[in-house]
Each structure stands twice: as C-alpha cells, then as structure tokens.
C-alpha cells in the first residue's frame, strides 16, 4: 500500500503534517508492506496552492491512501473518485499518523471514527 501525507518540511517520517492538502509544499510518500514501512520519499509540489496539481501528483504516484490535516469537499470527492482512501490525522508527525492508520484508528473526513474496535 502506498500512503501520501502532505508535510510542512522534509524530515522524513518525523515531518510535521501540513494541515492543508492543497497548500503543502512537500508530499511524503511511504510504501507499507505487511504493516511495515518499507521506504519513503518526499516529492516537492510543482505548484503549491494549486489543488488540481496536487491531486494529479497524488494519483500519478499510484497512492492508495492519503492522510491529511484538512481538505476541501471537492478535494475529498476527487480523491475518492480516483479510488484513494482518505483519513484525517490532524496534527502530529507523519510517523504518528502512519502508526494510527496501521493500528486501525483514524478519523474519516466526515468526522466518524474509523477504529478497528468500532468496526467489529
């Protein structure tokens, strides 16, 4: 599974999550295999602030999941239409967000909790 997280600066997995998907300057892309983080890379946004460019960049990288602090309803619709799952992690680091996702407990964009305990 390939996960993208908009980040404020390039500190790898310790990068703080950027609260805005479209305004971020950098996108951390992490490959997760069998629950293990295999590799990560940071891609610079071609045009920070350009929503369409960011969505295109995410889909071009064959991302399966996006974890972010905030995105507009239009961005959410575009990501979901591309078959990309979206989760809200709020503040913190990319590592914390990934661990929360792997633990099965993140918020959906509509505010519903997506915890493995609640899904069963």
Question: Which domains can be identified in the chain, with CATH numbers?
Answer: 2-119 (3.30.420.130)
As a whole number of angstroms, the distance between CA 17 and CA 89 comes to: 8
pLDDT confidence bin for 57, thresholds 50/70/90: confident
- Which range of 35-39, 52-56, 82-86, 107-111 scores highest in mean pLDDT? It is 82-86
Tokens representing residue 69 in the block: 């602090």
pLDDT confidence bin for 94, thresholds 50/70/90: very high
Phi, psi at 81, each rounded to 5°: -65, -30
As a whole number of angstroms, the distance between CA 35 and CA 120 comes to: 20
pTM score above 0.85:
no
Tokens representing residue 111 in the block: 């505010």
């Amino acid at each position: 599974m390939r996960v993208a997280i908009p980040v404020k600066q390039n500190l790898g997995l310790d990068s703080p999550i950027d609260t805005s998907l479209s305004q971020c300057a950098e996108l951390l892309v992490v490959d997760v295999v069998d629950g293990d983080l295999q590799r990560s890379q940071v891609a610079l946004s071609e045009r920070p602030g350009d929503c369409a460019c960011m969505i295109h960049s995410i889909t071009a990288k064959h991302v399966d999941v996006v974890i972010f602090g905030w995105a507009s309803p239009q961005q959410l619709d575009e990501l979901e239409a591309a078959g990309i799952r979206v989760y809200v992690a709020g503040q913190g680091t990319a590592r914390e967000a990934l661990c929360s996702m792997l633990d099965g407990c993140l918020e959906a964009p509509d505010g519903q909790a997506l915890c493995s305990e609640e899904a069963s």
